[in-house]
């Protein structure tokens, strides 16, 4: 176990944000894969699964919003959803 994770687990009042915890876990998984690899007598698919998980963690933790994400159309409000459903309801019963 790395010194980072030892510190967090041995100092309970220490406050760490969830993204920081995920980043520490990601670093720990990379260290394990780099130093030890996978057990040759274990399931051979484990390394592939861990690399896939690390890829997903990289995508999530390193995501930067693009201009399209920031300037796109805002989500539909409840009023707009209700108005559309009411129009559909009236059309079905007329």
Interval 53-77: pLDDT, tens: 999 999 888 888 777 767 767 677 8
Q: Mean pLDDT over all residues of the chain?
A: 78
Average of pLDDT values for 79-83? 90
Q: For residue 53, give the nearest of 32, 84, 74 by alpha carbon.
A: 32
Residue whose pair of structure tokens reads 């998984």 in the numeric block: 29
3-state secondary structure the chain: CCHHHHHHHHCCCCCCCHHHHHHHHHHHHHHHHHHCCCCCCCCCCHHHHHHHHHHHHHHHHCCCCCHHHHHCCCCCCHHHHHHHHHHHHHHHCC
pLDDT grade for 8, boundaries at 50, 70 and 90: low
- pLDDT over 70 at 22, yes or no: yes
């Amino acid at each position: 176990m790395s010194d980072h994770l030892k510190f967090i687990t041995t100092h309970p009042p220490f406050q760490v944000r969830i993204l920081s915890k995920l980043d520490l876990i990601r670093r720990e998984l990379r260290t394990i894969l780099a130093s030890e690899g996978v057990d040759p007598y274990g399931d051979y698919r484990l390394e592939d699964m861990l690399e896939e998980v690390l890829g997903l963690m990289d995508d999530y933790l390193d995501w930067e919003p693009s201009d399209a994400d920031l300037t796109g159309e805002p989500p539909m409000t409840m009023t707009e959803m209700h108005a559309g459903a009411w129009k559909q309801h009236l059309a079905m019963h007329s």
